[in-house]
Each structure stands twice: as structure tokens, then as C-alpha cells.
């Protein structure tokens, strides 16, 4: 598989990365064998970037990945770890922490759970409004010097914050929500800044939390996404599903699903469109890896990209990314 470099001299990774959040939290123990098999299938296919966070399942996700990488598979993986999300025993998020002491403490626990002596990319999940980003990145830089971290990353930060962090220590990767339904990084300077500074981009939310799978039509019983994702609200959902429907003939023309076309669009944003962009796709079962690989193989011409942009123009999506309280936590939206 062709690879991309995160940063000017960072790790070489496939254009598709494996996001592991869905393997934890509400995943039953019986699904753990599937989760481990999915990680193995990804590595076997050449998908090496494994994305996790210490707060996914309050450590469960890191334990799971650690088990999957036993037996000599650690060196096949590029581990991307987020920290800073604070959770209560009931699972509720209760704050963001980026103090230097927390950086080092959180890393120590992550290394133990993952069963490794280093992580490849370490990043705060959100900007701590009470701690200057220079202090947070400075602490990660100390861990780089000590050999416990290979590369510094950021997540959901704006262009100014990226520049401030990069001045302390080279940043190799910025993780940001980026999809056909979330085009903000194109207009708020994030992609331009990353391209200028030679920073890679790992795009999450590629399928817009399920809207761009092509199979979502209405909420099932117990689906609470409309409460925190305005694009699922009854006032906005019909508009957004109509946009999805406009992608169907374009996907069929390439012999792929809407989800695969949406993923291929993000992959195509690499190179001259904004630096080395990698699409992070969540998966819990091995067959999802094969589906992701098909998306990576789709070659979109300039005419294809223009047709997709015509079908889903930037700004056509109804509703913000998140509800107002969650949007307030995003430095990338400030």
C-alpha cells in the first residue's frame, strides 16, 4: 500500500488509519475477540496507524490494543494516543487537563496499558483553556527527549494554536474532524497552516458520525445522537439525507458505496490539496477493513472531485458539528 508521511520527517503510514474508540465503552466483553481480530486484520493489510485515547473506555481501549500487539506486533503499529479528557465513574466527561504533570502521569499509565516503552504520536485531545499550549507541548517535548514519545501531535486546535505549539517543538500531526459534511479546516486556515509548516493531518468523523454511511435513514430506538449532534436533529436531518442521496449515483459510477466514496474524497485531499491527509475510520469487525481498503483504491479525478463538490457544496449541510456546549470546547472553531 502506498504510504504518506505525517510531517516532514514523521512516520510513514497508509492513507487509511484505524480508529479504535468504538471497540470500548459500550462494547460487550464478547466483542473483544472481534476487536483484536480487527486490529490484526488492519496490520496485515498495511494499515499501521492505530488511533486511541486513554479515556476511551477509561483505559479499556489501551488495554485491548496492548493485548492485540503482543507477540511481536508492536513494531508494526504506529500508535497515536490522545490524553486530557477527564471522566467520572459513570462515564461522563468532566473536564480537560493539559498541565505538564498530567501529561507525564497520563503517559505513564498509557505506556503500562499498551505494553510498550513509547508511543509514536502523543497529543492532547482538546486544548486546556487553563494551561498555555506551550506548557502542554513543552511537557510532551520532554517525553520525546526521554524516548517515551516519538512525535508531537495536536487535536481540534486552530491555526494560531498550531503555530504557537510548533514554535515550542515540531508538530507532526493535527487531528481534526474533516469530511464532506465538515469542511471547516479548508476555510479556517487549519489545512493551509499545516501545509505551510509541513504538518500531517489525520481526519476523523469521515462518515459524519454515520450520516455518510449511506444506510442511515432515521434514528433507531435509543439513538441519542440528535441530542448532541444537531445534524441529526429532526429539523436538519431531511436536508442532510437529501445531500447523501445526491452522492449515490456518483458512488455507483465508481462501483463503491456512499461511505467508500466519502472516504475516498478525504483521502484525495492529500498531496496538493492540503498536505498529507489520512482518513481515520472506526471499525469493530475484520470485514470493515476490507471495505476501507476499497475506499483507498478509488481514484478520483479532478472532474470527479468537482462533481462531488457540486453534489455537496461546502456550507450546504444543515446544523453545526456539535451542540453549543461542545462547540465551546473546540479551539478549532474559535
Which residues are annotated as catalytic? Answer: 56
Three-state SS at 234: coil
Beta bridge partners of 202: 175, 278
Go through the chain and tell me how many residues it has.
334
What DSSP element (H or E) covers 83? strand 78-83
Region at 100 (left for phi over 0; alpha for psi -120 to 50; beta for the rest): alpha
Q: What 3-state DSSP class applies to 178?
A: coil
Asked whether the beta carbons of 308 and 261 are under 8 A apart, the reply is yes
Q: Note whether 246 and 317 are within 8 A (CB).
A: no
What cell numbers appear for 47 in the block?
494499515
d(CA 50, CA 64): 12
Strands 78-83 and 49-53: what pairing? parallel
* Cβ neighbour number for residue 235 with a 10 Å cutoff: 10
H helix or E strand, kind and range, residue 143: helix 133-146
Amino acid at each position: 500500500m502506498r504510504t504518506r508521511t505525517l510531517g516532514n520527517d514523521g512516520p510513514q503510514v497508509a492513507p487509511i488509519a484505524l480508529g479504535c474508540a468504538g471497540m470500548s465503552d459500550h462494547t460487550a466483553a464478547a466483542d473483544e475477540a472481534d476487536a483484536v481480530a480487527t486490529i490484526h486484520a488492519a496490520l496485515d493489510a498495511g494499515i499501521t496507524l492505530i488511533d486511541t485515547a486513554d479515556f476511551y473506555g477509561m483505559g479499556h481501549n489501551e488495554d485491548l490494543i496492548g493485548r492485540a500487539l503482543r507477540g511481536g506486533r508492536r513494531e508494526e503499529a504506529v500508535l497515536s494516543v490522545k490524553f486530557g479528557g477527564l471522566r467520572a465513574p459513570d462515564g461522563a466527561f468532566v473536564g480537560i487537563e493539559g498541565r505538564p504533570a498530567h501529561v507525564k502521569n497520563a503517559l505513564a499509565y498509557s505506556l503500562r496499558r499498551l505494553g510498550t516503552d513509547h508511543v509514536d504520536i502523543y497529543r492532547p485531545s482538546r486544548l486546556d483553556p487553563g494551561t498555555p499550549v506551550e506548557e502542554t507541548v513543552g511537557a510532551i517535548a520532554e517525553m520525546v527527549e526521554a524516548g517515551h514519545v516519538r512525535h508531537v501531535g495536536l487535536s481540534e486546535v486552530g491555526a494560531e494554536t498550531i503555530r504557537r505549539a510548533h514554535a515550542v517543538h515540531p508538530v507532526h500531526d493535527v487531528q481534526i474532524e474533516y469530511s464532506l459534511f465538515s469542511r471547516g479546516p479548508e476555510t479556517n486556515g487549519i489545512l493551509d497552516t499545516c501545509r505551510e509548516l509541513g504538518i500531517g493531518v489525520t481526519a476523523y468523523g469521515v462518515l459524519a458520525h454515520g450520516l455518510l454511511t449511506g444506510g442511515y435513514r432515521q434514528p433507531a430506538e435509543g439513538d441519542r445522537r440528535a441530542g448532541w449532534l444537531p445534524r441529526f436533529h429532526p429539523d436538519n436531518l431531511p436536508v442532510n439525507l437529501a445531500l447523501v442521496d445526491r452522492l449515490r449515483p456518483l458512488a455507483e459510477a465508481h462501483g463503491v458505496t456512499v461511505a467508500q466514496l466519502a472516504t475516498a474524497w478525504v483521502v484525495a485531499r492529500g498531496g496538493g490539496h492540503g498536505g498529507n491527509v489520512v482518513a481515520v475510520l472506526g471499525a469493530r469487525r475484520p470485514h470493515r477493513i476490507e471495505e476501507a481498503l476499497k475506499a483507498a483504491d478509488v481514484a478520483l479525478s479532478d472532474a470527479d472531485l468537482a462533481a462531488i463538490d457540486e453534489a455537496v457544496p461546502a456550507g450546504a449541510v444543515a446544523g453545526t458539528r456539535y451542540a453549543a456546549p461542545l462547540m465551546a470546547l473546540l479551539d478549532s472553531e474559535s
